[in-house]
Structure 1
Amino acid sequence: MKKKSIVIIVGLAVLIGAGAWYLGRDDKPADGAAAAGKGAAGTNGGAQPPAIVNVVAPQRQDVPVVLQANASVTPVSTVDLHPQTTSTIRKVHIKEGQFVKAGDMMFSLDDRGERANIDKARAQMARDAATAADLERQYKRSQELFAQKFIAQSAVDTLRSQLDAARALVGAGQAALQAEQVNASYSSIRAPMAGRVGAINVFPGSLVQLATSLTTITQLDPINIAFSLPEAALGELLAAQKNGAVVVDATSGPNAKAVSGKLSFIDNTVDPLAGSIKVKALFDNKDASLWPGQYVTARVTVQTIRNAVVIPQAAIISNTRGTFVYVMDADQSARPVPVARLHAFGLNAAVSGLNGDEKVITEGKQNLRPGARVKLADNAQPKRDAKATVAAQ
């Protein structure tokens, strides 16, 4: 029993001694680290290192304010030709896809019946004219006889009324002749305007009626493009239109050459469901680069901001305090400057609030605070924004 107690006591003593040695060993490095920390704090004085940033010099340039929309090409006018009488096609004077001028002969219908009616009306008018001439001679003779008191006044009056009726018949005959000539003119179908002929649906010998579509004529020069813009742009459109012609550019593809026209129409109502306003632009189309039904991209230049200050959009910060940018002052500190975005285009934006000679911070601004120390990145110099020199697309 005594031996067992002695062994336990000796073991406890060994453990206590080892623990005391270990604790004494750890205290020394800790004290050394604390001393080193104090020395380092004394050297830096507790100051934060300057933030590494990149800056850009603002550009001054004219910035066009452009509204873009998808548009479709629509003809100024298009005509679907129908006959105005029932007849058969005698001759087709045109070909599909042909360009015609106003008044060009397009179709000839069988007009034999109309020509016969014209001859009949002329003969009727000649007969009525002869009757009227005979009555006029009788009336003059009756006046002479009445003066010599050979006939009564009633006889003269009767001839007078007969003469008036005959003259009326001559007038009716003239009107009937004109009506037959109008009916005969329907047998010659001419182009009502200049344009391009579409598909021809009839051939010589075809029976045509009022509902028969012969072909279509579409005017290609000039030509319209129609598109819609947000109702928020209505004020800018109306203001631009008051200041003169509003330029509209249209492109049919990424590699296609842009063509320029002028705004010609602003609808009188805003679509309340879509929140948009319909507009049209008129284009010269002598080379037929625009085709009816074609989809194009329209760009409307509503104004040009002259000598605007242009900076990268990446430099602009928006939060609950407003919209601003950080600029680097001469003492290498960051200063916030409130700005207003006038127009954004591509990677850049025209803004107000800057003089144009500042060094605007573009990178490293996320951790900045007003008055914070900043430092340019290695080998970084204030650079001008190369993209700002490109006009708005």
Structure 2
Amino acid sequence: MAAIRLTNSRRKLWIMGAVAAAVLAAGAGVTVLASKGDEGKKPEEKKAETVLEFVPTEVVAPKRVSMPGLIEFSGPLVAPGTVIVRAKSAGSLLNLSVAEGSRVKAGQVLGQIDLEELRYRIAERSAALESARAQLDQTERHYKASQGLAAQNFIAATALDSSRAAMEAARAQMLAARAQLDTSQVSLRQAALIAPISGIVAKRHALPGEKLAPEQQILSIVDLSRLELAGLVGTHEVGRLKPGMVVQVRVEGVEAPVEARIARIAPAAEPGTRSIGVTLELSNREESLRAGQYALARVQLPDETQRLSLPETALSSSGGQEQVWMIENGALVRRIVTTGRRDVREGRVEILQGLNEQAQVLGARFDNLRDGAKATVVQAKSKPAKLASAADQAGASKHKSN
């Protein structure tokens, strides 16, 4: 009995060993076959490559549209009809009959200055003129008498010449005295505080009782019926502007745009810049606008050419160059493009070089795109296209292994 059990035990061990050897042989064979099947493949071919999927709304095609030009510049409104009333003579400011914000008319009396000193000067110069006139009369009588004596040879010719010279000098002195009197009288007329234009008193620079010096500022008067807006336009764009062109102006605090016209264009660029001054004129008959308000001018330039364009969102910048991402032959391609005009209102950019009308361009900016990556356009998808992360790829590998 003992011998039989020993024989059976050895038989079982032999059978189990044979089975194990067979399993190992089969596994080795599978491994060898797998190794032979992978021979000749590149490493990147062994790894499953992710295919990026985009929906049709994420892909755009360049299209031809007209792109009206837009030139913008801004600045404060200025009232060119602004005058400053100054004191034409020294004196004390007795009173001012107008306040800031008061409306005045041309020729209206604005105040009064004590001009006693000027009146005394006029009286003095009037007396000097009378003295010079009397001196001239005397020299003229002497000259006539000298002429009679010279005709009778009672005096020498040189004496007659001296008499004539004295008469001419007296006449010159009289003319000088008259000119000085006229100057003082003009100063007296101008010294009166009279409004030179119709408008609104913007500011009072002096107060009653203050001692004024000649040419000292007293009042500022502004005519708001006409305003101007001055701005700078690049030299590459100013050639498209002409005097008389209609311009839409947005003024702060005013909802509707205001129409203006180009009044003048500077003949030369500003020193140190590549910009030329452009001045607009705004009619403000109702005086609804005020000087100093900030305004933005927009000049619309029509375009008769159909230009190849893309949405602004399709372009990005890299290394100082503008680029787009496009799908070509089932792969992503980064393409450098040359751009032209920009339509800010429509959000489109002109493409001068780099694309044709059949190109499939990504209409939005995506992160981590790689040139040459597989890509396709599908009809529908649940979320925007993006590069699969390392975690997503690891999860997919684990799912396949299960």
User: TM-score, structure 1 length as denominator?
Assistant: 0.62
1:351 counterpart residue number: 351
Partner amino acid, structure 2, of 1:225: L
Where 2:154 maps in the other structure, the secondary structure is coil
- Number of equivalences: 346
Q: Deviations over 1:63-92 (max 9, x none)?
A: 223244553334447555442432122453
* Change over 3 Å in CA distance of 1:234–1:10 after alignment to 2: farther
Larger mean CA deviation between 8-17 and 244-253 belongs to 8-17
1:86 aligned residue: 90
Q: How do 1:239-388 residues align onto structure 2 when only pairs under 5 Å count?
A: 239-241=239-241, 249-253=248-252, 256-259=255-258, 260-262=260-262, 264-265=265-266, 268-269=269-270, 271=272, 277=275, 279-286=277-284, 287-288=286-287, 290-300=289-299, 304=303, 306-315=305-314, 323=323, 340-346=338-344, 347-352=347-352, 377=379
Partner of 1:181: 185
**Could you tell me which residue of structure 2 aligns to residue 34 of structure 1?**
none
In the alignment, is the contact (CA less than 8 A) between 1:240 and 1:303 conserved in 2? Answer: no
Q: 1:173 to 1:369 in 2, by over 3 A?
A: closer
Verify the 8 A CA contact 1:317 1:323 in the aligned structure 2: yes
1: CA distance, partners of 2:128 / 2:202: 43
Counterpart-to-counterpart distance in 1, 2:227 and 2:85? 20
Task: Spell out the pairing of 1:132-281 with structure 2 (5 A cutoff).
Answer: 132-147=136-151, 149=152, 151-153=154-156, 156-191=160-195, 196-210=200-214, 213-218=217-222, 220=224, 222-227=226-231, 233-237=234-238, 239-241=239-241, 249-253=248-252, 256-259=255-258, 260-262=260-262, 264-265=265-266, 268-269=269-270, 271=272, 277=275, 279-281=277-279
Give distance in 1, aligned partners of 2:96 and 2:244: 44
Aligned-pair CA distance for 1:363: 5.7
**Structure 2 vs 1, CA of residues 70 and 17 (structure 1 numbering), >3 Å: closer, same or farther?**
farther
Find the residue that maps to 1:198 and give its secondary structure.
Answer: strand
Tell me by how many angstroms 1:216 deviates.
Answer: 2.2
SS of the residue aligned with 1:344? strand
Cα distance, 1:10 vs. partner? 12
Aligned partners of 1:192 and 1:302: how far apart in 2? 41
Provide the C-alpha distance between the structure 2 equivalents of 1:16 and 1:253, rounded to a whole number of angstroms.
97
Cα distance change of structure 1 residues 266 and 360 upon mapping to structure 2, 3 Å threshold: farther
Matching residue's letter, 1:122: S
Distance 2:217 2:12 in 1: 119
User: Quick one: distance in 2 between partners of 1:245 and 1:51?
Assistant: 50
Unaligned runs of 5+ in 2: 25-50, 381-402
Which runs of 5 or more residues in structure 1 are unaligned?
A: 24-47, 379-393
SS in 1 for 2:121: helix
- Partner SS state of residue 296, structure 1: strand
CA 1:162–1:352 in structure 2 vs 1: closer, same or farther (change >3 Å)?
closer
* Kept in 2: contact 1:328–1:358 (CA 8 A): no
Equivalent position to 2:115, from 100, 111, 118: 111
Q: Distance in 1 between matches of 2:244 and 2:362?
A: 39
CA contact (8 A) 1:327 1:337 kept: no
* CA displacement at 1:12 relative to structure 2: 8.6
- Cα pair 1:317 1:324 within 8 Å, conserved: yes
Percentage of matched positions with identical amino acids: 20
Q: CA deviation at 1:344?
A: 2.6
- In structure 1, the residue corresponding to 2:129 is in which secondary structure? helix
Cα RMSD for the two superposed structures: 5.5
CA contact (8 A) 1:248 1:281 kept: no
CA distance in 1, matches of 2:115, 2:328: 90
For 1:176 and 1:50, the matched residues in 2 are separated by 96
Match of 2:48 in 1: none
Aligned partner of 1:37 in structure 2 is: none
